[in-house]
Each structure stands twice: as C-alpha cells, then as structure tokens.
Amino acid sequence: MRIRTNSRIMKEYIMSKRTNRSGRGCGFSRREFLGGCAACAAGIAGISALSAAQAQTLDTIPRTRAKVRLFFTHERSEKATWPNIGYDYEGRKKELLGRLKKALPGIEFIPTTLTKAEAGQKTQQILDSDKGKDIDGYVVYMLGIWVRASRRIAESGLPTIFVDDLYAGSGEFLTEYARAKRKGLKVIGVSSSDFEDVVQALRCFECMKQLSSSKVLEVGAGPGYWAYVDYKLIEETLGVKVVPIDFAQLDEAYNAADEAKATKWAEKWVRDASKVVEPSQKEIVKSGAMYVAMLDLMEQQKAQAIAINCLGGFYGGKMRAYPCLGFFQLNNDGYVGACEADICSTLTMLIMAYLVKRPGYISDPVIDTSKNRIIYAHCVAPNRVFGTDGASNPYHIRNHSEDRKGAAVRSLMPLGEMTTSIKFDPRKRQVIFHQAKAVENVDEDKACRTKLAAEVKGDIDKLLNYWDEWSWHRVTFYGDLKRPVYNIATLLGFEVVEEA
C-alpha cells in the first residue's frame, strides 16, 4: 500500500500532541485513573470518529457452548441430616439452576439429581452413558451430605468441580475434595458464601470450550525458544490450533490493506493518545495498514490471536511497519496480539482473555532488589487493563525503543493495584506464577517504552531463580487472579509453579 501524507488536519493534530505535556508519566491514584480518559470520548474537532462502516473490526470469538452435567446430591427430605429434615431441596435446585443459567450463558447445563439410596448404580450408569456425548465436564453441587457419589464422578477423568452449599454438603465436600486433590485429579472445589466464586470456577468450562474452537496465527516463527512447542502438542493439551503464516503472506496483506481504513485507525490512536513523541503521520498510518493486514488474515482464518516474529521481520526487511499499535488495539478489544512469535505467552493471553476477560501484556522484566521491585518493560501494552468495558488509562505514541523506528506504545497504567504475572507452558504442563503491586510508571529512556514497576509479593531473591527454565518473558494481568489461575490450571492438568 502506498502511504499518502497529505492529511493537513492529522499533521496539525500530531504536532499539537507533541507539544501537549499534560499527560503525566506516573503517580495516578485509583480515582484519577477511573476518570482518566473521559475527555477522549468527545473526540477532536476536524478529525472524524472511527465507525464500523469506515474501519474494519473483528468478530471471531467462538460462540460454542460448553455442555456440563450438573449433579445435585442430597438425601431425601424426610431424613434427619444436614441441612435439616424437611428441607426444600427442589426449591433450592430451581433457584441455583436459574442463577447459574443467567450468569453463565456459555454453558448448557444438564441437571441431574442423585440421592443416597440410588447414587451407586445410577451414578455409574450416567457416567457410562456420557461417554461419546461431548460432555465437557461435571459439577457436583452438594446440597446434602454423605451421598457418596462425588468420588466416582471425580475419578471419571473429566474436569470436575465440587461445590459445597454451605451448612449442607460441608462434611462430604471437605473429605472428598481433600482426597481428590491428594490423588492429583482434575478437580477444583468451591466452599464460599459468595455465589460469584461458584460462577468464576464454572467459567473455566466456558474458557476450555472456547479454546477448543480457537486459532492462533503465528507469523514468521523460526528457530529459537519461542518455536520449541509443537503445534500438535498445543492442540492436544489446550485444543487450540496454531496456523503458521510466513512473512510473504503478511506482506501481501499489507500491500492490499485499505488506505482509508488504515488512516482511520491512525487517526483514532492519535486522537486518544495523551501525546505523540517521535513518530510521523506516515509511520502511524503504516501501523494502521499493518493492523488492517492482521485483521484481514485473522478474519480469513477465523482466528482469535496473532503472534508475529516482529523483531526478526522488521530487522530482516520482511516487514515495513511494526505491529505494536495493532497489538495494542487487539488486546484492548478482547483479542490477542503477541510479540516476538512467543507462542506460550500468546496461549497464556488467550486463556486469560476467555477466563477473566482482561488483556495481558508480554514483558522483558527488570528486577531492582534495592526496592523489592520488578519492572515489566515492553513496547506493547494495552490501556484497558480491566477489560473491554473497563476504564482506559493514558498512553503515549512513541517509536520502537531498540532501533528508534516505527510506532509503539507507552501505556501509563493504574497504580496501587495487584498484578498477576504468569505463563502457561504446554510442554512442561506447568504455569509459572508471581504477583506484585503496581507502584510506578517508570520514565526512563533506556529499554522498552512501557515500564510498569511493581513491588513483589513474596521473596524477590526467589524470583531470580527460574528465568533460564522459562525464558525472559512473562505475561502480566491486572487483578489478584491467583484463584482463577489455579482453577484453570487444575482442570487442564497443569501444575502451578510459584516463583516468588
């Protein structure tokens, strides 16, 4: 695509962004952050707003529903037991099923009741009949105790969730869940008065079903750490299909990119940025064209994620624009754009996008032991860290740090929040995990543009021990996501390795 640079309005606006120094580099309070970009919504006079008719958007998120058998287990109501004699089990089941269907539209529930008198034979008959029926998992909702069906269900091999309806199934829940954990079964347990904890756990089934219908495009992958995971292994362990794309295909899509769409995206990014520092209008429009090319490839393949060997492609003259701004947009919109063809990080971002509806960002961390800090540094990061419907934080458009070329992002992310940094590895069947509290957006010219400093939760000396086994990259998400990470890891059969 030939990039024209005759947009006087955009040139003038970029210049105004370069001289606007109101965007601060650090020190946002939670209140300031939530109010952060309210002015952005008003737009800028003279630059037209982006619309679906003018610029391309994606619609490739899988809509297949998980099929889950929901076992309600309890005694007959005339029995004197927990919760109590005469308890209205039918009313409670109706209430719970209604709440679950409302909260989890991505799951088709098959409700089944098991009482103590029939549990043994009936349970096995159901498990046998479910084979070959595309059942994605089981939930055992314990409305009473000592039905004794949960053990056989847990040993079926399908991912299983035990739920204790407090003061009802507690005795059986505690003993059988402990046993299942000790045996290493794919079983997680929920024992909480907060119904949202039940919903969060069951959302794992939605996530796994979406993964089984997902595609990742990996562009220009070559020899090196990122290429070591076999595509077949990924499909076997996570259900995700990886489609290799060569640089020539990406360049062909770039040449065919619609200039009007590319310009509209460039205008949006400039309009929403706190300031533009180095890149010219031409460079930002080229980034828009690269984004349109990525969207075209993803639409053709019905893919939800794209990972590009960006440094190898750009340094080798096989790419004419960095994908950083495109990745920024994809991650803000609930999809995945991943740096350096890092397939493990890409899969991690996709898993968490489905599970917690929040974007992650890959980084090359720096550790400062004198301040008990880890600094997550990269030239790509989202500015909607709490999800597509969450507040946006300020960002700057910069050039790419190492070679001072192209266009990239410095995202000024919210402070005072817990972050969770992880990476799933299908070959190891493990997840590396640590947490840290965001404290500063570091303003330092060296290294990558976005630099989020966070105080490590745990032992920072221990955090120095795993990088040779897991590489330099980590993927950071906002929020205390320990429970969701452990839940999905267990149901996938992965071990969590806490590195701090």
Do residue 238 and residue 129 come from a single domain?
Answer: no
Q: Do 224 and 205 fall into the same domain?
A: no
* Total residues belonging to the chain: 500
- Same domain, residue pair 100 and 25: no
Number of domains in the chain: 2
Of 270, 275, 474, which is closest to residue 367 (Cα–Cα)?
Answer: 474
Question: Long-range contacts for 398-403 (Cβ within 8 Å, ≥24 apart)?
Answer: 398/277, 398/278, 398/279, 398/449, 399/277, 399/278, 399/279, 399/283, 400/314, 400/322, 400/324, 400/449, 401/447, 401/448, 401/449, 402/311, 403/314, 403/315
What lies within 8 Å, CB to CB, of 489 at 6+ separation is: 424, 431, 495, 496
**What is the full DSSP assignment across 66-97?**
EEEEEEEEE--TTS--SS-TT--HHHHHHHHH
User: Which of 211, 242, 270 finishes a domain?
Assistant: 211
**pLDDT of amino acid 7:** 57
- Tens of pLDDT along 19-62? 554 443 333 333 333 333 333 333 333 334 454 334 677 999 99
286 within some domain: yes
Ramachandran class of 357: left when φ > 0, alpha when ψ lies in -120 to 50, beta otherwise: left
Worst-scoring range by mean pLDDT, 46-50, 73-77, 270-274, 402-406? 46-50
- Within a 10 A sphere around the Cβ of 299, how many other Cβ atoms? 14
343-399 pLDDT, tens per residue? 999 999 999 999 999 999 999 999 999 999 999 999 999 999 999 999 999 999 999
* Distance separating alpha carbons of residues 431 and 259, to the nearest angstrom: 42
Instruction: Please state the rounded mean pLDDT for residues 67-91.
Output: 97
Q: Are residues 361 and 237 in the same domain?
A: yes
Range(s) of the domain holding residue 442: 8-61+213-498
Domain final residue, candidates 182, 211, 240: 211
Tens digit of pLDDT for each residue in 131-166?
A: 988 999 999 999 999 999 999 999 999 999 999 999
User: 124: which residues sit within 8 A by CB, 6+ positions away?
Assistant: 152
The string of pLDDT tens digits covering residues 312-348 is: 999 999 999 999 999 999 999 999 999 999 999 999 9
In a domain? residue 2? no
CB 26 within 8 A of CB 440: yes
**Strand stretches in 35-180, DSSP E:** 66-74, 107-115, 137-142, 160-164
Residue 221 and residue 104 in one domain: no
Separation between Cα atoms, residue 349 and residue 228, nearest integer Å: 18
**Per-residue model confidence (pLDDT) at position 380:** 94
Taking the chain, what is the end-to-end CA distance rounded to the nearest angstrom? Answer: 48
Looking at the structure, tell me whether residues 179 and 74 fall in a common domain. Answer: yes
Q: Is 132 left (phi over 0), alpha (psi -120 to 50) or beta?
A: left
Residue 457 lies in a domain: yes
Looking at the structure, do residues 49 and 139 belong to the same domain, yes or no?
A: no
Close Cβ partners of 211 (under 8 Å, ≥ 6 residues apart) = 238, 239, 240, 350, 351, 354
**Within a domain: residue 1?**
no
